[in-house]
Chains A and B, each alone.
Chain A
Amino acid sequence: MGLLQGASELFPVSSLGHAVLVPSLLHWSFKQSDPSFLPFLVLLHLGTATALLVLYRVEWVAIIRGFISAAFRGSIGNDSERLAMLLMVGTIPAAVLGVFLEGRIKALFASPYAAASFLIANGVLMLVFELLRRRSERRAAVDHAPAASREESFAQAERISFRAAALVGACQALAFLPGISRSGVTIGGGLLAGLRHQEAARFSFLLATPTILGAGLLEVPQLFSSGVPLGEYLAGTVLAGIAAYASARFLLRYFRSGRLDPYGWYCIAAGLVSLALLALGL
């Protein structure tokens, strides 16, 4: 589960959807309706967040310094300060929606059918994001340019508007639905806001870190009261972190010229196959 979650968390294919679907399809003995299931997933997410902190350690030091200085000064002086404020604006909608929608969303975790359906919806979303991006490229007359120079005509993460950052942040709440990918919707949102693919992925990964850490702080204490095998869970967390680090490195390289389409088609296919297998009881 740790490897699965870590590998799929940063790919735009919904780790949560896979975490709900795979145990059901393989008849693993996880009870998704168990109260410790969500905290367990959050613990795995903490492994991912740690991997992202390690990957962006230098940037996070600059962001935290930028946040403190910009907050006290009341103005933005450089790119790190702007990025820190963008991340704050992007994190708040997800935090508010997460806390208030959590109860209703928990009920959906018990249904692999819902996860498979949302996975298909996630695939369609990825394709729509790329469709809209291609339209922007045609408008900017760079659609026939080589991938590297085509990407050059779009912006870096620090140049995203605050309104767009808030919208991208709010999109994160969609990922509480198993099957909808947090990184997928935030990368897609970044693309719609005019970011390069690689910068949209970077903004998505940076935005994920406080959200996942916050969710972890709120949910992990439940693990210690529910009598779960903490040793096994922690081993899963370490594996999730290692897999997430490798995934992030791969994706940042992939998105220099790659697009979301392959992941969209994968989600649609995986969702359809899962629905068929579940319906047949295999």
Chain B
Amino acid sequence: MKSTPVAYGFLLLGLICVVLAILYVIGGILPTFTSSGVAGPHYKHAILFGVLAVASLIAFNFSRPRTV
């Protein structure tokens, strides 16, 4: 589905995932969003959001309309 709003939605989602991944690596900022509630780095969540960021950016590349 080629659509500018959908493409930019994926881009925004990708950027949010990048920010969340960085925050989980830094740790101490998102303790309430971890299963342990511990304020340290949470690499499992960071890797997941990193993967989701890559997937969102691929989806952005697929859905953006191209001018030939």
What is the chain B residue whose CB lies nearest that of A102? B35
In this assembly, does A141 line the interface, its C-beta being within 8 Å of a C-beta of chain B? no
**Is the beta-carbon distance between A74 and B55 smaller than 8 angstroms?**
no
Chain A residues lying within 8 Å of B51, measured Cβ to Cβ, are 92, 95
In this assembly, does A28 line the interface, its C-beta being within 8 Å of a C-beta of chain B? no
Other-chain residue from A103, A217, A218 in contact with B35 (beta carbon distance below 8 A): A103
**Is the beta-carbon distance between A71 and B61 smaller than 8 angstroms?**
yes
Chain A residues lying within 8 Å of B35, measured Cβ to Cβ, are 100, 102-103
**Is the beta-carbon distance between A75 and B62 smaller than 8 angstroms?**
yes
Given the contacts A95-B51, A103-B35, A88 and B45 also touching, CB distance less than 8 Å: no
CA distance A246 to B24 in the complex (A): 41
Chain B residues lying within 8 Å of A100, measured Cβ to Cβ, are 35
**Is the beta-carbon distance between A74 and B62 smaller than 8 angstroms?**
yes
Distance between A211 CB and nearest chain B CB, rounded to angstroms: 12
What is the chain A residue whose CB lies nearest that of B7? A74
Distance between B16 CB and nearest chain A CB, rounded to angstroms: 14
In this assembly, does A276 line the interface, its C-beta being within 8 Å of a C-beta of chain B? no
CA distance A29 to B60 in the complex (A): 51
What is the chain A residue whose CB lies nearest that of B44? A218
Range of interface residues on B (Cβ < 8 Å): 10 to 19
Other-chain residue from B47, B48, B64 in contact with A74 (beta carbon distance below 8 A): B64
What is the chain B residue whose CB lies nearest that of A98? B48
Chain A residues lying within 8 Å of B45, measured Cβ to Cβ, are 99
In this assembly, does B52 line the interface, its C-beta being within 8 Å of a C-beta of chain A? yes
Range of interface residues on A (Cβ < 8 Å): 10 to 19
Which residues of chain B (3-36) have a CB below 8 Å from chain A?
A: 35
Chain B residues lying within 8 Å of A92, measured Cβ to Cβ, are 51-52, 55
What is the chain B residue whose CB lies nearest that of A221? B43
Which residues of chain A (58-83) have a CB below 8 Å from chain B?
A: 71-75
Distance between B59 CB and nearest chain A CB, rounded to angstroms: 9
In this assembly, does A54 line the interface, its C-beta being within 8 Å of a C-beta of chain B? no
**Is the beta-carbon distance between A88 and B62 smaller than 8 angstroms?**
no
In this assembly, does B58 line the interface, its C-beta being within 8 Å of a C-beta of chain A? yes
CA distance A100 to B58 in the complex (A): 23
Given the contacts A88-B55, A92-B55, A99 and B62 also touching, CB distance less than 8 Å: no
Which residues of chain A (130-155) have a CB below 8 Å from chain B?
A: none
Question: Contact string, A89-103, partner B, CB cutoff 8 A, digits 1/0?
Answer: 000100110011011
**Is the beta-carbon distance between A88 and B58 smaller than 8 angstroms?**
yes
Distance between A68 CB and nearest chain B CB, rounded to angstroms: 10
What is the chain B residue whose CB lies nearest that of A67? B58
CA distance A67 to B66 in the complex (A): 20
CA distance A34 to B62 in the complex (A): 45
Which of A71, A74, A100, A218 counts the most chain B CB atoms within 10 A?
Answer: A74
Residues of B within 8 A of A (CB): 35, 44-45, 47-48, 51-52, 55, 58, 61-62, 64, 66
Residues of A within 8 A of B (CB): 71-75, 88, 92, 95-96, 99-100, 102-103, 217-218
